[in-house]
Amino acid sequence: MEQELKPSASTNRYLRRWATLLGPFLGLALVIAVFAVLTGTPEKFLSPFNIRVVLSQTVIVAISAIGMTIIMIGGGIDLSVGSTIALTGVVTALGVNAGFDPIIALLAGILVGAVVGSVNGLTITGLRVVPFIATLGMLGVARGAAKWISGQEPVNTAPTWINNLVVTFPDPPWLMLAPGVWIALVLAIIATIVLRNTVFGRRVFAVGSNEAAARACGISTNRIRIAVYALAGAFFGLAGVMQMSRLRQGDPTVAAGAELDVIAAVVIGGGSLNGGQGTILGSMIGALIMAFLRNGCQQMGWPNFIQEIIIGTIIVAAVAVDQLRRKQL
């Protein structure tokens, strides 16, 4: 039996890797093309202005999807995203109102997100509650906490630079895109590198791919899982800050159902509910697909329920196409 690693093998490898991202890319191109045609004014739909709007609207889902991708690669799921966004948004708003420096308020939001995530991780590993249920519980708890500390009222804040994080026209103008878009982009790149090039990242993959095998390889799987949820929680916290920035207030009822958008973005991007699979780039494209869809529907003047039906259909279609592709490979 001879064995050699031919140079052509590595080109195959890249082809294969890109093939998994081809679907989401094509999907994005298709969505953009369809709405460019449907709206009848492609120059408007693809105008720098509209693209800025869409990108700003993507920030919250995109940042959350980074966290969710890490969780899903690790074999978990988090249904408490929306509630965590609301809670951390309220915390940030309260922080600003209490007279703290905005950066402190922002960090407080992120920290609370990380704490919520840690609690999820501890519930899952310590009490052996499956992630679906543990985070379903947190969905209620975090939402309740947000309402409690806000007195069930949106918390209005004095204007600070936090309010400018996701504006369509950034200040200074040379930024071109809202600061939040750049933050999301940088975080996506960092997360990609961490997942790909660090021992921690590869262990997350190992735990998600086969937890029993990871344990037998001496990996402390519980520690990894808690770290994953805490890290993702921090991302959700930052998303909460962005949400507060967008509304210019901490609204305890905001982002209900956001978990579905976030999970959909990851799944459309090639993430698997079975763990061990997924890419940040894919999830970002998934988030963009959803944002362009919503934006396109709005421009068409279609009612909200049409958007919901389309998005629901696309999630299922994306996964079905992915299954077909896997069968053929």
Partner 1 sequence: MSILELREITKNFGATAALAGVSLNVAKGEVHALIGENGAGKSTLMNVLSGAIRPDTGSILLKGRKYEPTNTLDARKNGITLIHQELMLAPHLSVAENILMGMEKTRFGWLDPRKLNELAGKVLVDFGHPDIQPSVPVGKLSVSAQQVVEICRAIAARSEVILMDEPTSSLPRRDVERLFEQIKKLKAAGISVVYISHFLEEIREIADSFTVLRDGVTVDSGKITDVTDAFLISKMVGRDVNDLFPQREALKDAQTVLSVQNMSAPPMLESASFELRRGEVFGIAGLMGSGRSSLIRALFGLEKADSGTVSIEGKPARLNAVPGNRITNGLGYVSEDRKIEGLGLTLSIADNITLTRYSACSKFGWLSRNKQDRQAADLIDDLTIKAPDTRQSVSQLSGGNQQKVTIARLIHQDAEILLLDEPTRGIDIGSKAQIYQTIAELAAKGKAILMVSSYLPELFGMCDKLAVMSRGRLSAPRPIAEWTPELVMQASIGAGTR
Binding site for partner 1 (CB under 8 A): 1, 3, 5-6, 9-10, 12-13, 17, 196-203, 205-206, 209-210, 212-220, 272, 275-277, 329
What is the rounded CA–CA span in Å between residue 239 and residue 110?
A: 8
Amino acid at 287: A
54 sits in the region (left: phi over 0; alpha: psi -120 to 50; else beta) called alpha
Backbone phi, psi, residue 101, to 5°: -60, 140
CB of 14 to partner 1, least distance (A): 9
Distances (CA, A) of 172 to 154, 178, 238: 29, 10, 22
Nearer to partner 1, 160 or 209 (CB): 209
CB of 230 to partner 1, least distance (A): 17
268: CB partners within 8 A, 6+ apart:
24, 27, 282, 285, 286, 289, 290, 314, 315, 318
What is the rounded CA–CA span in Å between residue 250 and residue 106?
A: 12
Q: For residue 137, what are the β-bridge partners?
A: none
What is the rounded CA–CA span in Å between residue 78 and residue 299?
A: 32
Token couple for 221: 């799987």
- Identify the helix (H) or strand (E) that includes residue 249: strand 249-250
Preceding amide of 154 cis, omega within 30: no
Token couple for 89: 């948004």
**DSSP 3-state assignment of 245?**
helix
What is the rounded CA–CA span in Å between residue 148 and residue 110?
A: 19
CB of 167 to partner 1, least distance (A): 36
**Nearest C-alpha neighbor of 180 from the set 265, 51, 59, 286:** 59
**Placement of tokens 């990851």 in the chain:** 266
- Identify the helix (H) or strand (E) that includes residue 229: helix 221-247
